[in-house]
Every structure is written in C-alpha cells, then in structure tokens.
Chains A and B, each alone.
Chain A
Amino acid sequence: MRTVIFRFTAPYLTSLMVLFSIFVLLRGHNEPGGGFIGGLIAASAFAIYGIACGVAPVRRALYFHPMAIAATGLLVSVSAGCISILLGRRFLTGLWTFPDVLGGIGLSTPVMFDIGVYLVVVGAITSIALALEEGDD
C-alpha cells in the first residue's frame, strides 16, 4: 500500500503489537489473555506489516516459514503433555517449578502449552493472511 504514513508507522506498530501479544500470552495464566488471543494479535501485526510493506519483507523478517512456526508450536504443546508422562503423572498434569532466577519466577507445563498454542496460531493465521495478501498483488 503506497501510503507514506502507514509505511513509516507499520514497523513500529508491528513491533509494539508483537510485544503486547507476548504480554497477553504471559498474563493469560491467571487473568484474561492467553496463547490464542496473543497469537491472534501477533498474527494481525504481521498482516499489517504485510499490507504496508509487502509480503516478502514479512517472510524475511519472520525468517522461519509460518507453517514451520505452527509445527514447532504443536511440538511444544504436545511435549508439555509428554513431560507428565516422563514423570509418571497423568497426561497434561500441570507441573510447576520455581527456579531462583530473576527474583523467583514460576515455570510450568500450562505456560509451555500456552506458548505452543501461541506459536500454532501465529504460524497458521499468518500463513493464511500472507497467502491472501500475495494473491492481491
């Protein structure tokens, strides 16, 4: 799209939206938010970048193919369930660990699962959006 203002602001907007999407993803454990909605925000960020600057720069910026990102997300989500198999617990049991770094944070398999969902949504929706945008050119 040949609008100077849009082209100029799109990269900033995209980076802000991706940051915000990660915030929403991490907030999702105890408050509204989560992997799906975060992934949608990130996917729309890439779609905006694609509308402003064309599809090729988005693909370059993503580096990995969107489908590969989605597949990685699927792998992460399923692995989150498999950790409970390795520890002899029931499948998808939420497991927590509190390593003493950064002032004490909680790491858990639900968060890992949510990160997987986030990647699946980012990958799948971005690849559909980019395919549609490519068709327009």
Chain B
Amino acid sequence: MAVSDTHAAIDASAAQLPGALAAADYLPILPVVICFLAGAVMLILRKRTAWHGWIAIPALCLLTLTDLLLLRRVAGEGPQTMMMGGWRAPFGIAFTADLAGTLFATVGAMVALACGLFALVSISAEERRYGFFPFLFLMMGGVSGAFLTGDIFNLYVWFEVLLIGSFGLLILGSRHQQLDGAIKYCFLNLVGTTLFLIATGYLYGWFGTLNMADIARKAADQPAGGGLYTIAALYLVAFGMKAAGFPLNAWLPASYHTPRFVVSALFAGLLTKVGVYALIRVLLMLLAPQQQDLAFILAWVAGLTMMVGALGALAQTDLRRLLNYVVISGIGTIFVGIAAPGALGAGGDGAVGLSGALFYALHSIVVMTGLYLAAGVATDRAGSSSLHDMGGLWRGHVGFAAMMLVLLFAVSGLPPFSGFWPKLMLVRASFAAGMPWLGAAVLASGFLVTIASARVFALAFWRSKPEHEAMVVEPARYEHLDGPKPRGADAMLPILGLVCLVLAAGLWPQWLAGLTRTAAAGILDPGAYLHSVFGAAP
C-alpha cells in the first residue's frame, strides 16, 4: 500500500493527460457505459419481468440519442478520443470514435431499439427471467465497444463480450434446434477469435504497440516483407470467419434461423457487420499496403460469397433459412468495396468503393433486421415458415405486405430503395479497379436475389393460401412458433421505423453517401484520426 512519491527524478504526472473535460468529451465512452449499467440493473431485477420493458426501451432510446449526438460531433469536428485513465497515447487504452465507427454504432443502436420494441411483444416472461434483455445489453455493449475502440487488443475483448452476449441470446429457451445451431455457431466463432488473438499477438510483436493510431503511423514506413503478409492474412481469415465470407460461412445458415426471430434479426443485422467493420479497420487503415496485394484474393472471396449466398437463397424452402443466405450475399457485396476501395487524391475517385461498402453495410444492417422481424410476423400469420404452406398474406394486411415488398426490393438492390445506390458505387469501383468481372458478379447476384425475393413475395403474399394438406414435418421444426405472438400495432411499429429508414436512405441518398465518403476518406488517410489520438504534436 505504501506509495513513494518522494523521488523528484520521476514525475509520474508526465504520463497523464492534463486538464478537465467538458460533458461532450465523454460521448465516445457513454454508449458502452449505458449498455452495461442498464444490463446490470436488469439482471439484478431479473425476476421483475414487468419492469424490463420500462428499463430497456428508455435505455435503448438513450443509447440511440447518445450515438446521434456523438455522430453530430464527429461529423462536425472530426474523430473524438477518450484515453482510459488519462494515460497518454499510445500507453493508455484509447477509445477513438471516428466517422465510420460512429455511423455503425448509431445504426446499430437504432436497430437494437427496433428489436427491443419487437421483443416486448414476442419474448415470453420466462425468457425474460432467463435474461433476454440483460444479454441484449451485454451484446450491445460489446458491439458499441467494438465500433468505438481505438485499440486492437481492446477490439478483441469487445468481440468476446459480444460473443458471450450472443451465446446467451442464441440458446435462450434451449429448444433442440437452438442447441444444434449453437454448437456450430459457438465452435466456429471461438476458433475465429482465437485466430484473431494469434494475429494480434504477432502484430504486437511486429510494431510493439496495440494502439491503432500508433500502428497506422508506424505501418506507413514499413519495408515490404513476409511477416506483415502473414498477419494480414491471419486477420483476413479471422474476420472473414466472423463476417461469414466464403468459404468460412457454413456456420451462419446452420445457426441463424434457430433462435427467436427477434434474436435472428439482431444477429443478422449486427454481428456479421462487426466482422466486416473490423476487417475494414485492420486491412484498410492499419495494413493498407498488404491489402493491395491481397486485393485479388479479397475480390474472389467477394464474388464467391455473393454467388453462394444468392444461389443458396434460391434453393431454400424455408423463409428463415432463405434469409440466412441473403445475409451472406450481402456480406459478399460489402467485400467488393474492401477488395476495390478506390483511391483518394487528385487522380482518385474519392474512395467510391469503400464508401459504397460502408453505405451497403449500413443499409444491410437495417434491411436484414427489418426482413427477419417481418418474417417473424409473416410466419406467425401463416402458421408456418415453409414457402409450400404460406400464402395469401396480403389479404387484410395490405400495409404489412407493402412493407415487406419495400424490404425485399431494398435487399435486392432495386431503385429507389437504399440497396440501389451503394451497389451502383460498388459496380463503378470494381470497373475502376480493373475488375469488371467483379462488377458483373454484383449485378448477377443482385439478379438472383431479386428472383428469390420475388418468389418469397409471390408465394407467401400474392398467391392465395394453398389448399393442399400441409407437408408432414416433425414438430421440432416448428417449435419456434410457440410463445407470444408478434401481433398488432406493437409488432408493426419497429418494422415501420426500419422501413422509413430504408426509404429515407433510398430517396435522399446524398446525405448518407456524403457521410460514408468522409468516413472512407478518414480510414484511407488517417491523419485526422492520428491527430485526435496524439494531439497537435504526434
């Protein structure tokens, strides 16, 4: 306990950042704090399930509001940094909110709010007692931390936090299907994070630092060599596994359809995008020279992921499993922008590829969540999730059918909805990068997903209810249909909110495209990021 401050030779305060902070300076850390406080309080009040909604929804609103305020500040003043414990960079752990991370965090919070509202009507009291909302907040804390951290090992820790939260959500209820899916999900994700840890260990060995800004600064003048390629390739495998890129995507269609619809919606929207975000951060900001040599591999991964997703979606009978493959196809489309990010500067195209990838990722978060929630309502109304047995859903639910149509058009990339503009940017970027076949693959997979979506709408909504006897299936396949029914306006409101976001991004794309262009520039040229972490004199 004895602390000796007697020696004048060592001035410990030199290691600390001076000065007090204003209230707005705490914005980068607040999303994580809100999530953990709300989760902890609800876990203490585990048995008072009636209170959970009253705590969760205001907390999610607060989270969204905080992220929006942070977004406004970051868009206006550039990246914001909070050094934990006041230790100077690069020694302390940094939380650095730049535009890309903040955009992801904001959209993620909005989606979580929608899922929280939907969960109010679709999660039973028993599942709440087993901790649905605490797990939700644990996962959101991990997701927010991963988007806002500026330290690569801290990123690993947030990955694990969100993984623990997602495990809890995935097995909530412990039905047979869920246990089966959870086994595959857990093992694959655990191996993925282990690879992430190996790569981070090597990265520390190479650079002697874990602060992302410091790595970006030192990576600029590294000699080309084999070591960094190993690290970059390891990160590609680890995050490719997380993001469900081909050929490491088999775990996703094996597990995402097993939990409750609202949990699937959250996973499909957020979790794979965290992997994509980490890949963008590491390959494009930290190891940019290595990315250029991996670009060809990335392009093939992108093309194959898109085609596997689209063809898989065409072959599915079950609505939820069809959506699993649509998620994969979307991931492939984002990878196009990572393979062909474009260039900044006078001769460049303003990083149209990366900008398109960020735009598409944000669009995909909203649309995939909306689609799974809508699929939950549709499955409840039709009494089945098999396309053989669904039908006639537009009767009496015209508004719902219209919302589903908007979401299906958006996910297929048809104008005037939010999927069209980023695909346009990505096709342009792949032509500019000298890979026209990649642009063709974007269009081809978009075409196939359009067919799959049209089939969903034509069969489940447009045709009349089939009169044949329902196919004989073992009851285990429909065990997810028990529990509270997502009915009425309470279930429609969150879907409507997401549809409004899709429409807004589709009809007025320029504001979001402007933000993603600035965000992409901030990743490819991290000068402002470095300035935010190290101050005026780096």
A and B touch in the complex (CB under 8 A): yes
Interface residues of A (CB under 8 A from B): 29-30, 65, 67-68, 70-72, 74-75, 78, 81-82, 85, 88-94, 106
Q: A72-B44, A74-B43, A92-B84 are in contact. List 6 more A-B contacts (CB 8 A).
A: A72-B40, A74-B36, A78-B36, A82-B37, A90-B84, A93-B86
Q: Is the CB of A89 within 8 A of B20?
A: yes
Looking across the interface, which residue of chain B has its beta carbon closest to that of A71? B43
User: 5 A-B Cβ contacts within 8 A?
Assistant: A30-B1, A68-B46, A91-B33, A91-B85, A93-B86
List, in ascending order, chain A residues with CB within 8 A of B37's CB: 75, 78, 82
Q: Is the CB of B82 within 8 A of A91?
A: yes
A-B CB contacts (within 8 Å), total count: 64
A71 CA / B134 CA spacing, docked (Å): 9
Question: Are A78 and B46 CB-contacts (below 8 A) given A89-B20, A90-B82?
Answer: no
**Residue B437 CB within 8 A of the other chain:** no
Q: Is the CB of A91 within 8 A of B43?
A: no
Q: Is the CB of A74 within 8 A of B40?
A: yes
- Which of B17, B43, B86 sits near A67, CB closer than 8 Å? B43
**Residue B83 CB within 8 A of the other chain:** yes
A68 CA / B95 CA spacing, docked (Å): 29
List, in ascending order, chain B residues with CB within 8 A of A67's CB: 43, 46, 131
Question: Are A90 and B40 CB-contacts (below 8 A) given A71-B134, A82-B33?
Answer: no
Residue of B3, B26, B42, B85 most packed against chain A (CB within 10 A)? B85
Question: Are A65 and B40 CB-contacts (below 8 A) given A81-B33, A94-B85?
Answer: no
Question: Interface digits, B31-49 against A, CB 8 Å rule (1 contact, 0 not)?
Answer: 0010011011111101000
Looking across the interface, which residue of chain A has its beta carbon closest to that of B34? A78
List, in ascending order, chain A residues with CB within 8 A of B20's CB: 88-89
**Residue B21 CB within 8 A of the other chain:** yes
Q: Is the CB of A91 within 8 A of B84?
A: yes
A106 CA / B2 CA spacing, docked (Å): 10
Q: Is the CB of A29 within 8 A of B33?
A: no
A12 CA / B337 CA spacing, docked (Å): 63
Question: Are A91 and B40 CB-contacts (below 8 A) given A67-B46, A71-B134, A78-B33?
Answer: no
**Residue B361 CB within 8 A of the other chain:** no
A82 CA / B46 CA spacing, docked (Å): 23
Interface residues of B (CB under 8 A from A): 1-3, 17, 20-21, 26, 29, 33, 36-37, 39-44, 46, 82-86, 95, 131, 134
List, in ascending order, chain A residues with CB within 8 A of B29's CB: 81, 91
A85 CA / B30 CA spacing, docked (Å): 10
- Which of B21, B41, B46 sits near A75, CB closer than 8 Å? B41
A72 CA / B46 CA spacing, docked (Å): 12
- Which of A29, A68, A74, A91 sits near B26, CB closer than 8 Å? A91
List, in ascending order, chain B residues with CB within 8 A of A72's CB: 40, 44
A74 CA / B29 CA spacing, docked (Å): 16
A81 CA / B46 CA spacing, docked (Å): 24
Q: Is the CB of A71 within 8 A of B40?
A: yes
A6 CA / B36 CA spacing, docked (Å): 40
Looking across the interface, which residue of chain B has its beta carbon closest to that of A68? B44
B33 → A minimal CB distance (Å): 6
Looking across the interface, which residue of chain B has its beta carbon closest to that of A31? B1
Question: Are A68 and B43 CB-contacts (below 8 A) given A85-B26, A90-B17?
Answer: yes
Looking across the interface, which residue of chain B has its beta carbon closest to that of A76? B40
- Which of A30, A75, A92 sits near B85, CB closer than 8 Å? A92
Q: Is the CB of A90 within 8 A of B83?
A: yes
Q: Is the CB of A75 within 8 A of B44?
A: yes
List, in ascending order, chain B residues with CB within 8 A of A71's CB: 39-44, 46, 134
Question: Are A93 and B44 CB-contacts (below 8 A) given A85-B26, A88-B20, A88-B21?
Answer: no
A72 CA / B36 CA spacing, docked (Å): 11
Q: Is the CB of A106 within 8 A of B83?
A: no
Looking across the interface, which residue of chain A has its beta carbon closest to that of B93? A92
Q: 7 tightest CB-CB pairs across the interface, nearest first?
A: A71-B43, A90-B86, A74-B40, A88-B20, A75-B40, A71-B44, A71-B40
A72 → B minimal CB distance (Å): 6
Looking across the interface, which residue of chain B has its beta carbon closest to that of A73? B40
Q: Is the CB of A90 within 8 A of B85?
A: yes
B15 → A minimal CB distance (Å): 12
List, in ascending order, chain A residues with CB within 8 A of B2's CB: 30
Q: Is the CB of B46 within 8 A of A65?
A: yes
A85 CA / B40 CA spacing, docked (Å): 19
A85 CA / B86 CA spacing, docked (Å): 12
List, in ascending order, chain A residues with CB within 8 A of B39's CB: 71, 74
A78 CA / B137 CA spacing, docked (Å): 14
Residue of A30, A70, A91 most packed against chain B (CB within 10 A)? A91
A8 CA / B37 CA spacing, docked (Å): 41
A30 → B minimal CB distance (Å): 6
List, in ascending order, chain A residues with CB within 8 A of B41's CB: 71, 75
Residue of B2, B26, B43, B86 most packed against chain A (CB within 10 A)? B43
Question: Are A89 and B21 CB-contacts (below 8 A) given A74-B36, A78-B33?
Answer: yes
A135 → B minimal CB distance (Å): 13
A84 CA / B29 CA spacing, docked (Å): 12
B20 → A minimal CB distance (Å): 4
List, in ascending order, chain A residues with CB within 8 A of B36's CB: 74, 78
